[in-house]
Amino acid sequence: MSQFFNFARFGRLFSKHTTEQGGGYLLATGVLLGGLGLVLGFAAYMSSEPVTPDMQAVIFVMGLLAAGAFFTSTVLAFFGDKKQATAALMLPASHWEKYLVGWLYALPIFLAVYVGCFFLIDSLVLQLGSGGKPTEMVRLFSGEGKLYYSLLAYAVVNAVFLWGSIFFTRQHFVRTAFGVLLALVVLVALNFQVMQALVGRKLGTVMPYSGMALQEGKVWYSIKLPEAQSAWFGLVPLGIMLLAWAAAYRRVTEKQI
C-alpha cells in the first residue's frame, strides 16, 4: 500500500470527514441560502425593476469571494489546535490525503454548492419579484459578461486563505484578510514609488501590472504594454495560487504529534 496516496484509504478518510462535519456543512449551506436570499431579496425590494443581470453578477462575485474565503479559512484550522491536531495526525492516512480532503471541500465542492445555491435563490427572487415583467437571469458561462472568470479569481483567494487556515493558529480569517490587505497596500505604494523613480516624472495612478499615466506640460499621456504582452501578467495570480497551495501542503507535512 502506498504511503503517499491510496484510493481505499482516502475514501475512508473522506467518508469519516463527511460524517463528522456533514451536519455543520448542512447548517452552513442553510446560512448561505438565507444570506443570498436576504441580499437578492433586498436588491429586488429596493428596485422598482427586476434585478438586472449586472447586479446579479456583482452579488454573485461578492458572495463567492466572501463566503468562500471564510469557509476556506476553517478547513485546515483544526491543525492549529493541539487536541484536534493530535487526533487528526494519528489517523492512518498520509499528509497528502488529509490535505486533499480539505482542498476538495474548499474548492470544487464549495463551488458546486455555492453556484447551485445562488442560481436557486436567484431564480426564486426573479420569479417572485418580476410582477409579470420579463426578467433575465445572469449566465455563468456567457461570453458577454465572462462571469466564469470569478471562478478563477476564487481559486486564487482559496489558495491564499487555505494557507492562512493552517499558518495561523487562531482568528484565521481575520488575520489572513488583514495580511492580504496589508500586502496589497504595500505593493501598490512600492509600485508607485519605483515607477515614479524610473520615469523621473510626475505620474498619475499606477496600479501594479497595468499601464501608467504621466504628465508632459499640461498634457497627460497613457503608456501601456501591447495586449499580447499584457496577457502574460495573467500568470502572476496563477503562480500565487500554486505557491499558496504548495505552502499550505508544506505546513501540513510539518505538523507532528
In tens, the pLDDT along 30-74 reads 999 999 999 998 888 887 777 888 899 999 999 999 999 999 999
Backbone angles phi, psi at 213, to 5 degrees: -120, 130
Q: Summarize the confidence of residues 12-32 as an average pLDDT.
A: 93
Residue 227 or 253, more confident: 253
| pLDDT per residue as tens digits for the range 68-119 | 999 999 998 878 766 677 777 788 888 899 999 999 999 999 999 999 999 9
Share of the chain above pLDDT 90, in %: 45
CA angle 145/151/155 to nearest 5° reads 150
Q: For the chain, percent helix, then strand, then coil, each to nearest 5?
A: 70, 5, 25
Residue 188 in contact with residue 208, Cβ under 8 Å? yes
Residue 175 has pLDDT above 80, yes or no: yes
- Most confident by average pLDDT, 164-168, 211-215, 234-238: 164-168
Q: Exposure string (b/e) for 51-89, b if CB count within 10 Å is 16 or more?
A: bebeebbebbbebbbebbbbbbbbbbbbbbeeeebeebe
Backbone angles phi, psi at 222, to 5 degrees: -110, 130
To the nearest 10 degrees (0 to 180), the angle between helices 53-75 and 149-167 is 20
